[in-house]
Structure 1
Amino acid sequence: MKLRSLFVFVVLLGETSIAQVSNSDGDEKGINIADLVEMSGDWFIAYRDGVKQVQADETLPAVNEHTSSFVLKRSYFTLKKDLNDVFSVRYTMDLTIDNEGDDAGNVETRLKYLYLMTKPKLHSKLFTSTAIEVGMVHRPWLDYEQKMNTYRVQDNMFIERNRIFNSADFGLTVTGNIGPKMDDDFLKDVNGVMKGKYASYSLGIYNGGGYSGIEKNTNKVVAGRLTVRPFANSLPQLQVSGYFNRGKGNSEFSPDFNQVLGFLAFTEKQYKLTAQLHDGVGDFRARYIDSNDPSRALKNHGYSFFGEYRFGRSPFSLWGRLDEFKVEEIDERTQRIIGGLTYRVNKMIRLILNTEHTTVDNNTEDTYELNLEISF
């Protein structure tokens, strides 16, 4: 079914009763149609001059190819439906430009999320807001980080940008809080990324190759995140997270894919600061391997810092990011300095002017962009 036909069907189904719903940051996002289905979308459109953008799930090697053009970076279309007070479903289409084969240049459509969620009633004061996703589901990390660093429109987050893993996979994810919910005023006015007052977690088991990768072996990857507020009552803005992957890379040779990640975040209403440190062996698509022995994964490590400052009640924000990533033995080192100025037109539209200075093994490229982000 074409996207246009699906949109018309949903609107007709909902007749005339339409209402806004809110996202986790308190902003209005999504359209509730006659209490039957919730519809939302995210569009990333840009004018880009510089190195061609490379996605983590692309099969072609990353090359420093210069481009200068208007581009559709990504377009997501989501439908959600509550089946009852326990079960719900989600369907998300991912539209992008095909960069490979005879169809290069065409708009390509694929599924990103397609899952059943259940929220069991555990009647526990320790484990609260428990939810289980089954199908094409969220992996435990990137969805969490992207609610603090909201500049996915510019490019992927540090881990995905360096092709360690992506945001979704075939499998099962369990999420929830440890202890009570955070104060509603804080979640609404400051930051709603972690709803647990003291801690939250996400744990799952996955095929390992990502939502766009066919399974090439019989191994599974186990991944998990634990986030805590060490000073929940006196300094709730501070969050500390740990994350891990343990399994095999998605190839017939099954090289190791093991990773640990440490993350520190301080989120105020006017500004956000994050820092992360990654150390691992291999990756989800088995790219970082010994060229003479594809069953042996290579060590890799790196770090990333991000900051954003909002100018009071004005629509302007200033933000920046610093990354470094290295693959051992082949001495492949990538450094990135990213910065930009944001103008928020309203709660659903942003204009983002940014630049990126990237150095890969002493070869430097500068990229300049004007991004239009539409989120509804």
Structure 2
Amino acid sequence: MTTRFFLICILTIGYSVCANAQTTPATPAPPDYPIIRVGVLSYVQYDAELENRQGFNAFDLTRGYININGQLSSNVRFRVTPDVRRVTDSTLAGTLVLRIKYAFLEYDNLTGARSWVRFGAHQTPWLDFEESINRYRVQGQMFSEREGLIPGSSDFGVGLFTPVGKFIDIQAGVYNGEGYAQTDANKFKSAQARLTLRPFAGRGIANGFRLSGFYNKGWYAANRPRDLGIVMGSFEHTNLVATLQWLKATENPNPLAPRNIDRSGSSGFIEVRQGMAGWAALARVEALDPDGALADDSHRRVIAGGAYWWVWPRDRVGLVVTNEQVHYDAAAARPKENRILVQTHIEF
């Protein structure tokens, strides 16, 4: 009797284990949309002028984002980003004001994985891409924006991004052409596109090399072009980042004295670093001829310094110290610039 009882217990337990092993796991519950995440990106600096500005020095906030990112469904997202910036026109006299820089709706995976289409005030094809390689936007604007050839990294319009296999990325869009801080003055728009090739994708260290081209076809008004072309080679590695670019623009900005002005320039950037976190050394050299019809009106900018970065999965903090010098040719009739910048990048 006892033997029979134990045998029945063993068979019952074995059947129960087998039944549990064959049970289909429960399907995970779908995400509880909407999912909202709020973050901050700020640049704070100390600027000490060393030449020709009577020892001017000041603390300032040069960027203050409040990033509100939301996911409404598996393929639908939005972003709203107010930006604090200093306005120097006569009405506000240097006041820090809050403006909307990004406000767009995004639909993901339209043409395949990682693709998207955006509608609203969003990143135009070039500057956001360049800033994803050169992480020192805290030090100053990228070359084309600093020289006034692109009015900012955000504009109102519609844009598409799509990868083509593992070798090509394409981003294109149609925008007002005035940047997010200005209203559209007329019916003319700006058509912009970027093509990026990664010719050695998946081939070890050579995977970090990319060749990119950008073109903007725009107008200030009828028969007054606003065209810009950029070609850039870039290399990214754990311990080294480098870019080399050349640009050419044709512009006709002055309605009172209209004429096409040809501008051209080049820029190089290098960062040698421990990794994403830790010590880094950086240098940047730029040269621009603002008017091909005039002689001796070019200028050159040299930036050099060091940084230390603290990096976490969603957050990063950078401390950047640089010397920036700008040299002008005689016809430019401007004094040399020389400054020390101590800047912080805080992002979470």
Aligned to 1:242: 213
From the superposition, tell whether residues 86 and 345 of structure 1 become closer, same or farther in structure 2 (CA, over 3 Å).
closer
Following superposition, the deviation at residue 279 of structure 1 comes to 0.9
Q: Is residue 369 from structure 1 mapped to residue 341 from structure 2 by the alignment?
A: yes
Aligned to 2:82: 93
Aligned to 2:271: 308
The residue type paired with residue 148 of structure 1 is I
Following superposition, the deviation at residue 360 of structure 1 comes to 2.6
Aligned to 1:114: 103
Aligned to 1:265: 234
Q: Is residue 198 from structure 1 mapped to residue 197 from structure 2 by the alignment?
A: no
Q: Is residue 77 from structure 1 mapped to residue 66 from structure 2 by the alignment?
A: yes
Structure 1's unaligned 5+ residue stretches are 1-32, 53-62, 180-196
Aligned to 2:57: 68
Q: Is residue 170 from structure 1 mapped to residue 156 from structure 2 by the alignment?
A: yes
Higher-Rg structure is: 2
Match of 2:257 among 293, 301, 306: 293
From the superposition, tell whether residues 89 and 264 of structure 1 become closer, same or farther in structure 2 (CA, over 3 Å).
same
Match of 1:326 among 289, 312, 316: 289
Aligned to 2:305: 340
Aligned to 1:59: none
From the superposition, tell whether residues 171 and 254 of structure 1 become closer, same or farther in structure 2 (CA, over 3 Å).
farther
Following superposition, the deviation at residue 312 of structure 1 comes to 5.9
Following superposition, the deviation at residue 359 of structure 1 comes to 1.3
Following superposition, the deviation at residue 333 of structure 1 comes to 1.4
From the superposition, tell whether residues 346 and 174 of structure 1 become closer, same or farther in structure 2 (CA, over 3 Å).
closer
Structure with more of its chain in helix, by fraction? 2
Aligned to 1:218: 187
The residue type paired with residue 211 of structure 1 is Y
The residue type paired with residue 319 of structure 2 is L
Aligned to 2:24: none
Number of equivalenced pairs: 305
Following superposition, the deviation at residue 41 of structure 1 comes to 1.4
Following superposition, the deviation at residue 340 of structure 1 comes to 1.4
Local SS of the residue matching 2:207? coil
Following superposition, the deviation at residue 313 of structure 1 comes to 8.6
Q: Distance in 2 between matches of 1:218 and 1:259?
A: 20
Following superposition, the deviation at residue 353 of structure 1 comes to 0.6
What is the TM-score with the length of structure 1 in the denominator? 0.76
Q: Distance in 1 between matches of 2:326 and 2:53?
A: 10
Q: Which runs of 4+ in 1 moved over 3 A?
A: 63-67, 311-314
Structure 2's unaligned 5+ residue stretches are 1-31
Instruction: Report the aligned-residue RMSD.
Output: 2.4
What is the TM-score with the length of structure 2 in the denominator? 0.82
Q: Is residue 357 from structure 1 mapped to residue 308 from structure 2 by the alignment?
A: no
Following superposition, the deviation at residue 36 of structure 1 comes to 2.6
The residue type paired with residue 357 of structure 1 is Q
Following superposition, the deviation at residue 105 of structure 1 comes to 3.3
Q: Is residue 131 from structure 1 mapped to residue 120 from structure 2 by the alignment?
A: no
From the superposition, tell whether residues 367 and 200 of structure 1 become closer, same or farther in structure 2 (CA, over 3 Å).
same
Q: Percent identity?
A: 25
Local SS of the residue matching 1:129? coil
Match of 1:150 among 135, 145, 156: 135
Q: Is the 8 A contact 1:128 1:178 kept in 2?
A: no
Local SS of the residue matching 1:144? helix
